[in-house]
Amino acid sequence: MVGWKIGIVFVSMIIAVSAFTNSSISWQCPVQSAEWEKTVDPETGANVIFITTHPADDNNLYFHDRSWLEDESMVIFTSNRNGKTEPFGFIEKTGEIVRLNPPDFPSTAGFTAGKRNSCLYLTKADGVYEWQIGRKPVTEAVRQESRVRINERMISRFPENVYPCGSLNENADATRLSLILRRRDSDLSDIVLIDKQTGAFENVASVNWPVTHLQCSWTQPDLVMFAREYPPHGDRVPIMSDEEYAKQEPHARFWFADLSHREPWTIHYQQPGELVTHECWWLRNQITFCGGFLPEESHVKVIDMQTGVTRIAGAGCWLPNISSADLAKRNWWHAAGSPKGDWIAADNWHGDIVLFNARTTEMRLLTSGHRTYGKGAHPHVGWAPAGDRVVFTSNKRGHADVCIAYLQ
């Protein structure tokens, strides 16, 4: 049903390239003065820092990717302020902006910060890389700018005729990185786990449809989740009779795979009219996602992977004869659970950031108005490891800026 195959020949070819993992270079990063603007949300009183105010497009990493370095001293974001999209760092203590790419560097992508070291993981056209980020902080006595240096290590080189898709994601015990590889000569998408030390790739699954939103379980080191879409319908199953639906292949947005070589499986098949979108791992093998059954209805939901039981953790809504723009004020598009387990953060198409109490489901507005309905980048709200602040993209100033909002 899913066109699954292990792809042993492909795996052997990739493992053979791990000898390239010893190459390394280093460079000093240009550090720019702070451009931040510290604000207070007029409605909620939350402290919101616009860490970027440059007129270029600045965006936080995707909501299920890790934006903060391990010690939480730096936030990673992307910017096109130098003519191409590349990674930057924000030093949270001083507000300084760090250009991480050297000016003449080839394009980079797929960014995620390490869980247990001050590293940024990324891809280039030829392979997977680790950037160890060292920082000498500014001192009041000297009053000089911070100094940031990167040591680069190639983890593994891509074989010919494949290219990476999406972002890297670090597994539960921080020993591997997950990645989607597409083959130029077939429709297969290969889902692989990459050993960070040896560079060896191990194939988790191969499917004959495009894969998105690949992410590793928070608790099981060899378990991954990924998304499937069903063009032209996207994430919502068309409304149809049960008889019509029975004649079609069942729809499932999110799928799982692990190193047991079991065929990829799902725990939730969508029903006619049902929306399921933007799934994200959470504690205890729970998964947050957004969805509903009525037109434009989208609750924040939590599904338990072991039982398959779904509950509404943050209510959306639907009423007849209400405009799409008004409905979007109380329906949710991305949701991510706090690392501490106490809150779920969600955003909507108006750029409102809300928190749902994970125990009571009570909604609390954190900050609002960071997107104009129908245009502008989505907030893609994600958590700091400490669970005391969130990062998101704001369009409040007419262009994409990266913001941090602090919980009170």
Per-residue pLDDT in tens (0 to 9) along the chain, 408 residues: 444 443 433 443 343 343 344 568 999 999 999 999 999 999 999 999 999 999 999 999 999 999 999 999 999 999 999 999 999 999 999 999 999 999 888 899 999 999 999 999 999 999 999 999 998 766 655 456 899 999 999 999 998 899 999 999 999 999 999 999 999 888 899 999 999 999 999 999 999 988 999 999 999 999 999 999 888 778 889 888 888 888 888 899 999 999 998 999 999 999 999 999 999 999 999 999 999 999 999 999 999 999 999 999 999 999 999 999 999 999 999 999 999 999 999 999 999 999 999 999 999 999 999 999 988 899 999 999 999 999 999 999 999 999 999 997
- Cis status of the peptide bond prior to 210, with omega within 30 of 0: no
pLDDT given for residue 139 in this prediction: 60
Q: What is the SS3 assignment for 13?
A: helix
Residue owning tokens 């994970």: 358
User: What is the side-by-side strand order in the sheet with 176-183?
Assistant: 162-170, 176-183, 189-195, 201-207
**Count of CA atoms in the C-beta half-sphere (13 A) of 377:** 25
In whole angstroms, give the CA distance from residue 253 to residue 235. 7
**Count of CA atoms in the C-beta half-sphere (13 A) of 92:** 21
Decide if 124 contacts 108 (C-beta within 8 A). Answer: yes
In whole angstroms, give the CA distance from residue 34 to residue 232. 44
Domains in the chain, CATH or no CATH each: 8-19+36-56+160-406 (2.130.10.10)
pLDDT given for residue 23 in this prediction: 64
Provide the β-strand partners of residue 303: 287, 310
Decide if 156 contacts 21 (C-beta within 8 A). Answer: yes
Q: How deeply is 30 buried, as exposed, middle or buried, from its count of CB atoms within 10 A (0-12, 13-18, 19+)?
A: middle
DSSP letter assigned to residue 375: B
Q: Which residues of 128-138 are buried (b: 16+ CB within 10 A; e: fewer)?
A: bbbbbbebeeb
In whole angstroms, give the CA distance from residue 110 to residue 98. 18
Q: What is the pTM of this model?
A: 0.92
- Cis status of the peptide bond prior to 55, with omega within 30 of 0: no
Q: Which residues of 348-362 are buried (b: 16+ CB within 10 A; e: fewer)?
A: bbbbbbbbbebeebe
